[in-house]
Structures are given as structure tokens and as C-alpha cells.
Structure 1
């Protein structure tokens, strides 16, 4: 008898923002034998939700594709980016394809960047025809061609930097202010490599390590705000820093 323990069956996972589309989501998923399709977008029905979305989901399910709706603001690049990268990371051993042409323009940017930072492959779908009133019928019908986008790598914060950003975000949620001294203590307790390897007991050395590994690079990118309060240095995430943290926090869980 064959021992199949340890074997992994690779799944074909598709991710698609759910805009005013039908065929541009349905046909690539069925044509390329998707096992699972994540539909990104609002999960709460509203008066503006087109009727053909229900038909889309029904037809996907009829073909044997598992469908999961994921609540995402398609007008928020970082929400799209964060949700997409997290889903891709969840399927680290699977083949992941991302439809970057089925949602809003901002969703296209977010999903494209997500593919640049993960192992997912982005693709665009060229429609055969274009409709007009998207509330009455889909914007497009049929699929003329499906093309993969070139993969351009993009740099994300390092895992230790994301860990510090995570700490700052959670402390801010509690209403706490964070000093550099607090960040040093957190880095030591979390065994972040830049702080503990090699070990040091020198206080100034710890501040220099924090500054060079985290504070300086993230401040230069506009992710951190450092301000003086008397003799203390208070550190917080900027708005864009928080958005970047949301986009890449999956690295803390999935590596």
C-alpha cells in the first residue's frame, strides 16, 4: 500500500475583486480549472449590488468551484493589498492566480502589488464586448484573451520591522504612547535578531541598533513619526505606515 502521508495536493486558487463583472470572473476561473475562488468586495448586500453577482456565484458553484466571499473595501488600495497578500500566504503551497482586471482601478493596483510581493501570478482579462449600464447588466461579456502580467519584485518592510509596527499599532489601539525605550524592551522580549544577536548590555548600543534597523529606515519611508516630549522620544505609525502594516502583517503569521 502506498504511504501518502506528507503528500500535498496542489490546489488552483483564484482571487478576484468583485466589481461590475460576470464573465471576466467566471470564464477564467472555469477555463483554468480553479478549485477555490476568493471574491473580494463588500459582503453585506446593498441596493447597489447587481443581480448578476448572485448568478455569478451560483454558476461558479455549479461548476464545482468553491467560492468564498472576503469583505474588502475595493476603493482602498491597502485594504485590497493586505487582504490579498494574506490570502496568498495562506496558500503558500498552492498555485495562486489573481485577476487584477475584475474590480475597481484601485483594486487593480492593490492586487498587482500583492502579486509583486508574493508567489501569486497576476493576470488581466480582455473582454470581447463592453456593456454600458452596469447596474442592469455586466460591463463586459465573454473573454477574448487572458494574459499574465510581468513580475516586478517590490520591497516590503522586514519581518522585524513589521513586528515593531505591529507593536506600535496595538499600543495605539489601547491609547498608549510608545517611547524608544519601550521599543527596545519589546524587541528584547520578542527576541528580534537586530537587538539580541549579538547580545549586548550597553544601553547606547541598544538605541543605535533600534535606530539603524527600524527607526531610520521606516522614518525615511514615511511610515514612522518620531517626536520629542521633554527628554523622551515618542514613536508612532503615520497613516501610510499603518496602511503598510496592514498590507504586510501577514508576514508575522506566515513568514
Structure 2
């Protein structure tokens, strides 16, 4: 059996594993034990009564507790990519400074995709390492876990994906909180009040300078770089509207 080995003498941070729970036990429990995890976050569906993986979670938790590995439970809608990403971001924030190993082979396909994306987007002070646990065998017997044993753990490359600057995320939140659309005039006022933009101009040029700062620092990046908003002119009024992509970003970045 080959796996990822961690040298205790070189690491002072906690080794934290994150794994969505599906219909497998070994694929989560064995890598955590082999890699000497200090804590494991099990990601479950938001509605336990409708989650058929509940029994598997209990067995995983029992196995890990025997190994004196702390277990934490997090919840998200297993069918919603953005809600899964949000749950993962919250875990990363709580575990800031620790070494996080993310199991991208357990749970559903959507959860696996979210785990890989999270490792690419939330790299920072906290080191995120995605991995794939290859089982020894698969089962087709109803009522049994889908796979058993552990053949190897493969470390996956996590190329960094940039996320919008905090000021842009705050701007998106403002638009969302105003029903998904806001006039440019009102946006300029709020952005200036919340210090998302700065204006250096005399009173007679203040309004024009504030619009210019909003365009350069907020509207253009969100519109052209991220495609999170669209701008529509109705009469003499310009409206800033959040796009579906923007709504998705707000979902897991705020």
C-alpha cells in the first residue's frame, strides 16, 4: 500500500482532513488513519432525515474515534455546488494555519468537484492539499459500501485560481442586498460611504470623480474581468444588475 506520509518532526500545525460522506467508509477512514490526521471534518447533507449516508457517517465517526481522531460535522446541500463551496470555505477559515488535506474521492461528483475547486480558490495562509483515495476493490452488493480497502492515496495538483478582491465581493453583496440591481448613482453613494472607493476632488468635481472611481475600481472589473454584473441604461438612468455568475460568487464568497 502506498500513501502520503507526513513527517511529524517537520510539522507543528494540526493535520486536518475534510471529506464529503457518501456510501463509503474505508475511503475516508483509512486515509485519515494512515496519514495520522488530528481532526476530520465530515461534510453531510443539510437534511439528515433525507440523507442515506447518515449510517455511513456514524460508522466512520466510530472508527476515527477509536483512533483518537477528533471528528467534526459540517452541513451543506450536496446537490448545490455553491453551498458546498461555502461550507468548505468556512471550514478553511476555522482551520486557518493548519494543514488541510481534502478528500476528493468520497461523496458525490458535485462534492468532489467542489472539493477540488476549493483547494484551488482558498489557498492562502492555510495549506490545502487535495488527494484521491484509490480503493482496493469495488462492490456491487446492495447495502454494502461502494468500495473497500485502500490501495493508494494520490496527491492531486492544486493550481491556484484567483478569486475577486474583497472590495469587489463587498460590492456584489451590496447589489444583491438591493434586490439584484441598483442604480449607478446609488451604488456610487454607498460604495463611497463604505470606503470601497476613494475620491480626491473638489466639491464642484466630486460627483464626476466619484463616478469615475466607481467605474474604474468596481464596475469595470466586475463587468469585464469577472462577468458578475451587467449595466443597462433605461432612459437617463444606468442600472447595475448582478448576473447568475455573480449570484453564485456571492453564495460562497460572502
> Cα deviations across residues 22-53 of structure 1 (Å, max 9, x unaligned)?
11110111222222211112143336514333
TM-score by length of 2: 0.84
> Cα deviations across residues 125-183 of structure 1 (Å, max 9, x unaligned)?
111101124x61111101111121112111211111011112222232xxx85211222
1:32 aligns with 2:27: no
1:126 aligns with 2:126: no
CA distance in structure 2 between the aligned counterparts of 1:88 and 1:25, rounded to whole angstroms: 18
Residue equivalent to 2:52: 49
Q: Give how far 1:114 is off.
A: 0.8
Of 74, 81, 84, 2:78 maps to 74
Q: Give how far 1:212 is off.
A: 2.3
1:212 aligns with 2:219: no
Residue equivalent to 2:238: 233
Q: Which runs of 5+ in 1 are unaligned?
A: 1-8, 250-255
Of 100, 103, 108, 1:104 maps to 108
SS in 2 for 1:185: helix
Cα distance change of structure 1 residues 36 and 242 upon mapping to structure 2, 3 Å threshold: same
TM-score by length of 1: 0.83
Coordinate RMSD, CA, aligned: 2.0
> Cα deviations across residues 107-138 of structure 1 (Å, max 9, x unaligned)?
111111110122311111111101124x6111
1:140 aligns with 2:147: yes
* Number of residues of Structure 1 aligned to a counterpart in Structure 2: 234
CA distance in structure 2 between the aligned counterparts of 1:222 and 1:177, rounded to whole angstroms: 15
CA distance in structure 1 between the aligned counterparts of 2:24 and 2:169, rounded to whole angstroms: 35
**Contact between 1:85 and 1:115, CA under 8 Å: does it hold in 2?**
no
